């Protein structure tokens, strides 16, 4: 039967959020590359494992953030890599390189001072120098790093992560410390924080500290660290201490890694969509734009300028009462991942009803189907259609001979039964477009996170030429159309165009 509009549109355009049209085969975890270098600082060979993004393609020359995991190996990196993949796939963080730093003797490497009861302790300064002067330069030289680094640690290595922040604040942009051992040497690192925090260049850096609620928070001296952060954290430094109930020192890693990664990239959103996206605004007849999803941290302007943190925060329903360019910007902790989208609303003369004559019948638009492997809409004048018919309730895209690599031209007259604003929608494939009154009003250039395009236009009662040029190249993108008439626009009640409003020559 004829394709209907995504159900998402019927619930204020809930995001598809990177879903596919059908289930996909389960992918096995991709194994990292075991690499090594000889450390002059430590006078030993150091092993580390590098996990590239699962769909990494060298020819694309993309650069990625790097997540360095202390206490590496399967104990921590196995968990962190799985959680990172999930957070990434939900759209809350970008594709990321993971570097698993394999330890040799954590009591030596992760401790900043020597304690008699801890054999060999006190090697943190040398280990940090190795990371700064040898490991990170090696990763930057041999792997596609963009220079934005996060350091993750648990227990002693979480304490080391905070130690690294206090001694090399420019080395990492973010720090995730899971149940850090702040008790070490009479809270040495916490005292270091009290003395140094206020003068450190930590603007736009983040620190996420996770601990166990109750006595454990005090036993690990995380509450001491929190008091110091409240008092001495510099302006522009974003930090959070999060206690968790009913977790163990080990189990805490799972929730804290998820929350820590989301906090690190807070503000990054998988989608930033609004409807209608473009259109015509009549004088003294305002329209509303409906924002899809969480609007926290989304700023806007109405004069084509780039929104800043000082620009107004968006509301779920944004009133537009004059022509202009609206710009939305979802601001994240990493500006390179800010989402920006714009819409252009003009005061041009709206289309006028067409004078029709001849043998027009309601019940569906006409369609012609063409086969070919095109990357852009072809010139169909010299191409013979393989099939034609009526695009009505009985039409089924799956009944066409090909599943991909075809063009579908849908033509006819749309009847407007009311005066007022109409919103038209289309989900399609790249190279497709919708034309109203012979003017292209939607050029589809989306993806899984941006499947639906929309256009608002004021119409008078009457008939308007209507055409869809659908170029189908990928099987998991589907043609779906819909509209909202004036009487339903207040509630954004979207649905398919009724067949009785679709006319074709028969």
**Inside any domain, residue 9:** no
Can you say whether residue 164 is alpha, beta or left, with left for phi > 0 and alpha for psi between -120 and 50 degrees?
A: alpha
Return d(Cα 151, Cα 171) in angstroms, integer.
9
**236 and 277, same domain (yes or no):** no
**227 and 277, same domain (yes or no):** no
Cα dihedral 21/23/26/31 (nearest 10): 10
- pLDDT at position 406: 96
- pLDDT at position 358: 84
Return d(Cα 344, Cα 279) in angstroms, integer.
7
- pLDDT at position 25: 56
Mean pLDDT for 214-223 is 95
User: Are 493 and 431 in contact, with CB atoms under 8 Å apart?
Assistant: no
**231 and 313, same domain (yes or no):** no
Given a cut of 90, is residue 28 above it in pLDDT?
Answer: no
Return d(Cα 286, Cα 288) in angstroms, integer.
7
> Bigger pLDDT: 14 or 94?
94
Q: Is the dihedral of CA 211, 214, 217, 219 positive or negative?
A: negative
Mean pLDDT for 443-449 is 90
**Helix, strand, coil: what percent of the chain each, to 5?**
25, 35, 40
**Inside any domain, residue 329:** yes
Most distant CA atoms of the chain, gap in Å: 99
**173 and 105, same domain (yes or no):** yes
**β-strand partners of 413:** 465, 503
- pLDDT at position 153: 98
Q: Considering 264, 284, 310, which residue would you say is the last residue of a domain?
A: 264
- pLDDT at position 269: 86
**478 and 432, same domain (yes or no):** yes
- Of the given ranges (163-167, 187-191, 284-288, 448-452), which has the lowest mean pLDDT? 448-452
> Bigger pLDDT: 8 or 263?
263
Mean pLDDT for 304-326 is 92
Q: List, for residues 397-425, the tens digit of each pLDDT value.
A: 989 999 999 999 999 999 999 999 999 99
Q: List, for residues 99-115, the tens digit of each pLDDT value.
A: 999 999 999 999 999 99
Mean pLDDT for 33-60 is 94
**421 and 450, same domain (yes or no):** yes
Q: How many domains does the chain have?
A: 3
User: Are 387 and 477 in contact, with CB atoms under 8 Å apart?
Assistant: no
For residue 236, the domain's CATH number is 3.40.50.1820
**439 and 482, same domain (yes or no):** yes
Full domain range(s) for residue 295: 273-346
**329 and 380, same domain (yes or no):** no
- pLDDT at position 30: 61
**β-strand partners of 319:** 288
**Closest alpha carbon to 122 in 185, 76, 70:** 185
């Amino acid at each position: 039967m004829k394709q209907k509009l995504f159900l998402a549109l019927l619930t204020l355009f809930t995001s598809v959020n990177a879903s596919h049209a059908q289930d996909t085969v389960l992918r096995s975890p991709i194994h990292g590359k075991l690499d090594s270098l000889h450390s002059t600082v430590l006078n030993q060979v150091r092993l580390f494992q590098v996990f590239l993004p699962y769909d990494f393609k060298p020819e694309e020359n993309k650069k990625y953030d790097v997540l360095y995991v202390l206490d590496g190996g399967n104990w921590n990196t196995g968990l962190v890599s799985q959680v990172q993949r999930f957070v990434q796939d939900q759209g809350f963080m970008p594709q990321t390189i993971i570097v698993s730093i394999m330890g040799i003797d954590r009591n030596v490497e992760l401790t900043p001072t020597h304690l008699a009861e801890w054999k060999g302790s006190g090697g943190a300064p040398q280990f940090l120098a190795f990371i700064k002067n040898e490991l990170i330069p090696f990763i930057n030289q041999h792997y596609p790093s963009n220079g934005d680094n996060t350091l993750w640690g648990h227990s002693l290595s979480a304490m080391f992560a905070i130690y690294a922040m206090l001694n090399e604040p420019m080395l990492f942009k973010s720090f995730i410390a899971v149940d850090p051992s702040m008790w070490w040497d009479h809270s040495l690192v916490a005292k270091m924080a009290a003395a140094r925090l206020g003068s450190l260049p930590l603007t736009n850096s983040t620190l996420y500290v996770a601990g166990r609620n109750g006595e454990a928070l005090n036993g690990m001296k995380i509450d001491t660290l929190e008091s110091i952060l409240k008092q001495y954290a510099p302006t522009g430094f974003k930090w959070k201490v999060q206690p968790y109930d009913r977790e163990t020192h080990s189990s805490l890693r799972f929730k804290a890694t998820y929350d820590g990664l989301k906090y690190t990239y807070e503000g990054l959103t998988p989608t930033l969509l609004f409807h209608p996206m473009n259109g015509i605004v009549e004088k003294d007849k305002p329209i509303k734009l409906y924002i899809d999803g969480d609007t926290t941290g989304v700023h806007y302007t109405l004069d084509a300028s780039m929104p800043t943190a000082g620009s107004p925060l968006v509301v779920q329903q944004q009133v537009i009462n004059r022509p202009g360019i609206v710009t939305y910007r979802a601001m994240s902790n990493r500006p390179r991942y800010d989402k920006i989208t714009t819409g252009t609303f003009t005061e041009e003369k709206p289309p006028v009803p067409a004078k029709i004559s001849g043998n027009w019948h309601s019940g569906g638009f006409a369609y012609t189907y063409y086969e070919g492997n095109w990357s852009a809409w072809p010139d169909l004048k010299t191409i013979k259609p393989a099939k034609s018919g009526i695009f009505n309730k009985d039409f089924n895209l799956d009944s066409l001979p090909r599943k991909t690599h075809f063009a579908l031209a849908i033509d006819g007259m749309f009847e407007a039964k009311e005066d007022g604003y109409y919103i038209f929608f289309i989900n399609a494939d790249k190279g497709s477009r919708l034309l109203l009154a012979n003017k292209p009003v939607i050029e589809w250039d989306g993806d899984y996170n941006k499947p639906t395009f929309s256009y608002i236009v004021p119409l008078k009662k009457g008939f308007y030429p209507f055409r869809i040029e659908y170029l189908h190249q990928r099987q998991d993108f589907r043609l779906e159309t819909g509209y909202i008439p004036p009487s339903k626009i207040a509630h954004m009640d979207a649905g398919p165009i009724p067949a009785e409003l679709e006319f074709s020559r028969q």
